[in-house]
Amino acid sequence: MTAAHVRKALFGFYILVFFAYLFGPLVIMGITAFNTPAYPTVSPFERFTLDWFSVLAADKDLVYGLKKSLWIAVLVVLVSVPIGLAGAMVMSQIYARARSFYYLVVVSPVLTPGVIIGISTVVFWRQTTNFTGTKFIYDGTVLTVLAQSSFIAAYTMLIFLARLARFDRTLEEAALDLGATRARVFFDILVPFLMPAIASAAVIAFLSSFENYNTTTFAILADKTLTTVLAGRVRQGTTPALSALAVTIVAITVLGAILYEILKRREEARASRRAAVAARAETQEFAVAPAAAE
C-alpha cells in the first residue's frame, strides 16, 4: 500500500467519523420515533408505527409550548429585523472614528451570557413597571421577546452590514439629485437591494428565538415555551413522542431550507436576467450613438 492510499483511507475514515458525529444522533432519534417500544430504542426494532406522532399531537403541554414558541419567534422577527437594519444603517453612515465604539456597543449583547440577559431583563422591567405602572410589560411573553431581541437584533445587524458593504451609494445619491425623497430612496432602492438580507435575517432570528433556552427560561416567568417544556420532560425521562417531535421539527426545518434555497436561486436568476438585459441595452446604446453622430 502506497502513501497516497494511506492518505485516502485516513481521509475517508475522517469523513465517515465526521458525518457520523453530525448526523448519527439524528438518525438514531429518527428511528426511535417509528419503533413501537415505550422507551426510545433502536434495537430490537419491533414494528414500524406512527402512534408516537398521535401521542405527540394529544400532549397539551407540548402543543401549548410549541404554539407559544412559534408566536414568540414571530414577534422576535418583527422586532429584531427592523432594529438590526436601523443599527446597520447607522453603522454605515456614522463617522469612521466612532464606528469601532458603536460596533462594540451594539454587538456586546451577543457576547453576554443568555442567563445574564434573561435575569437582567426581568429585574429591569420589574423595576420599570413598578415606577410607571405599565404592568402589561411584565408578562412572560413580552419579557421573552424583549430579552431575545436584545441579542438577536445584533445577529441581524451583522447580516445587514455584510449586504450594505456591497451597496453602490452612487445610486442613492443620483436618486436624491433627481429630486427623490429619502423615504422613496429607502423603499425603492435600498429595500429591494436588501431583500435577500432581510429574508436571511428573518430566518436566523426565527430559528434563534425558537431554539433559545438560556434566556427564555428566566424571562418567560411562570409561562412556558417548547424548550422549557422539553427540558422538564427530559429530566423525568424521554419518550419516543419527543423523538417524534424532533423528527417533525427537523422535517419542517429541512423543507423551509429547501424552499428558501429555491426562492434564493430564482431571485438570483431574475437578477442575472435583469443584468443581462441592462448590458444589452447599454451595448445597443453605444452602437446607435456613433451611427447617429455620422
pLDDT per residue over 141-163, tens digit each?
A: 899 999 999 999 999 999 999 88
pLDDT tens, 48-95? 888 888 888 888 888 898 889 999 999 999 999 999 999 998 888 888
User: Is a pLDDT exceeding 70 seen at residue 226?
Assistant: yes
The percent of residues in the chain predicted with pLDDT above 70, rounded, is: 96
133: left (phi over 0), alpha (psi -120 to 50) or beta: left
The pTM (predicted TM-score) of the whole model is 0.78
3-state secondary structure of 5: helix
Provide the β-strand partners of residue 35. 48
- How far apart are the C-alpha atoms of 118 and 183, rounded to whole Å? 36
- How far apart are the C-alpha atoms of 107 and 98, rounded to whole Å? 14
- How far apart are the C-alpha atoms of 192 and 270, rounded to whole Å? 13
Please, which pLDDT band fits residue 229 given cuts at 50, 70 and 90? confident
Average pLDDT of the segment spanning 184-198: 87
User: Is a pLDDT exceeding 70 seen at residue 290?
Assistant: no
Higher pLDDT, 112 or 267: 112
Please, which pLDDT band fits residue 287 given cuts at 50, 70 and 90? low
Q: Please name the residues in contact with 68: beta carbons below 8 A apart, sequence gap of 6 or more.
A: 141, 223, 224, 225, 226
pLDDT at position 289 is 59
The percent of residues in the chain predicted with pLDDT above 90, rounded, is: 17
- How far apart are the C-alpha atoms of 264 and 244, rounded to whole Å? 30
pLDDT at position 29 is 86
Higher pLDDT, 72 or 285: 72
48 backbone dihedrals φ, ψ, rounded to 5°: -70, 135
- How far apart are the C-alpha atoms of 37 and 34, rounded to whole Å? 9
Considering just the CA atoms, what is the radius of gyration of the chain in Å? 26
